Amino acid sequence: MSKRLLILEDGTIFEGEALGANLDVTGELVFNTGMTGYQESITDQSYNGQILTFTYPIVGNYGVNRDDYESIHPTCKAVVVHEAARRPSNWRMQMSFDEFLKSKNIPGITGVDTRAITKIVREHGTMKASLVQARDEVDHQMSQLQATVLPTNQVETSSTATAYPSPNTGRKVVVVDFGLKHSILRELSKRECNLTVVPYNTSAKEILEMEPDGVMLTNGPGDPTDVPEAIEMIKEVQGKIPIFGICLGHQLFSLANGATTYKMKFGHRGFNHAVREVATGRIDFTSQNHGYAVSSENLPEDLMITHVEINDNSVEGVRHKHFPAFSVQFHPDAAPGPHDASYLFDDFMDLMDNFKK
């Protein structure tokens, strides 16, 4: 295997072996603490533009299969692993981890200390990094990294460009795609929802003309304040149609009602985040993937906090006091992760049914 370097913005350099596609990339370095689900994570559009470090020591041991894609064309920049499995085995496997990365044009690096990388990110926060071929001009590569300005149009590059249906016989739901996971569509389809997926910049007028029973605001990448058109759409739609927001959709819903958001030091990315429901004290273990959060300070009067993260007390869910609308920061669709919170999709069904009465 050829050598490859992971160069961090703070000047730290890790040398390892090349994995996946053969190209140099720059992105935001983040880490995921999940023990499984590498295929779902890599194909999650919320990692758009990011270099994804897996903290679990071996990745790729069960290969890649056709069922676990969260999107067909992943947009993460690269992956970093301590060890890539050389002999994957699983009855569903169609290709190896390395073959998958090559097929999706995603470079990677293996044989590096992912614990050390994670400690750096936890201490200093997410930062820019470059994954490059090992060569002599490291100083030039470092200066290029420090001069790079990361894009802010992640939602635009993750969302569908045109609307498309997923027909069924039940409730009509418009799904606003900010970089959706297929597992959200699967959960809604399980409940026989008649889905229409629309681009992130679809107007309130266009949505209302579809006469849906409900609107789903999906997950997606980046800073929610970079999507002002979605915030305006939500302001016009809420109160007229029930709304359920997930992850970025939660942040956008909160911003539309006067809340503020902030960038977290290193975010929540993993499948073991414990969340407490404020009203009942119920604890759910949840799947999460976000670098921004809704601030609990100066929360607008119209919103009430429904869920909090028990480790850092960050806001994990809100509900509108007057409109049929709620949102959560975590992923009740899981995939991968625990399914403790899947009942929230049923709550959305009840919200739509009760609104029509």
Binding residues for L-glutamine, by number, are 46, 220, 222, 248, 251, 289, 291-292
The Cα 67–Cα 46 span in angstroms is 19
Residue 217: phi and psi, rounded to 5, are -100, 115
One-letter amino acid for residue 213 of the chain = D
One-letter amino acid at 21 equals A
Q: Which helix (H) or strand (E) holds 114?
A: helix 114-124
Exposure string over 316-332, b if 16+ CB within 10 A, otherwise e: bbbbbeebbbbbbbbbb
Catalytic entry in 44, 290, 331, 340: 331
Q: What is the DSSP letter of 322?
A: S
Q: Residue with structure tokens 């490059």?
A: 132
Given 98, 247, 250, 340, the catalytic residue: 247
Using CA atoms in the order 146, 147, 150, 151, what is the torsion angle rounded to 10 degrees? Answer: 180
Determine whether 273 is an active site residue: no
Is 331 among the residues known to form the active site?
yes
Please give the DSSP secondary-structure letter assigned to residue 302. T
Coil, helix or strand for 357?
coil
The separation between CA 270 and the C-alpha centre of its own chain, rounded to angstroms, equals 10
Angle between helices 228-237 and 248-256 (to 10 degrees): 70
As beta bridge partners, residue 19 has 108
Active-site residue, 268 included? no
Annotated binding site: 46, 220, 222, 248, 251, 289, 291-292
**What is the chain's length?**
357
Query: Which residue of the set 68, 213, 284, 333 is catalytic?
Result: 333
Say if residues 74 and 48 touch (Cβ distance below 8 Å): no
| Count of alpha carbons within 13 angstroms of residue 200, beta-carbon side | 25
* 259 vs 104: CA distance, rounded Å: 38
Helix 182-190 to helix 343-356 angle (10° resolution) is 60
Positions annotated as catalytic residues are 247, 331, 333
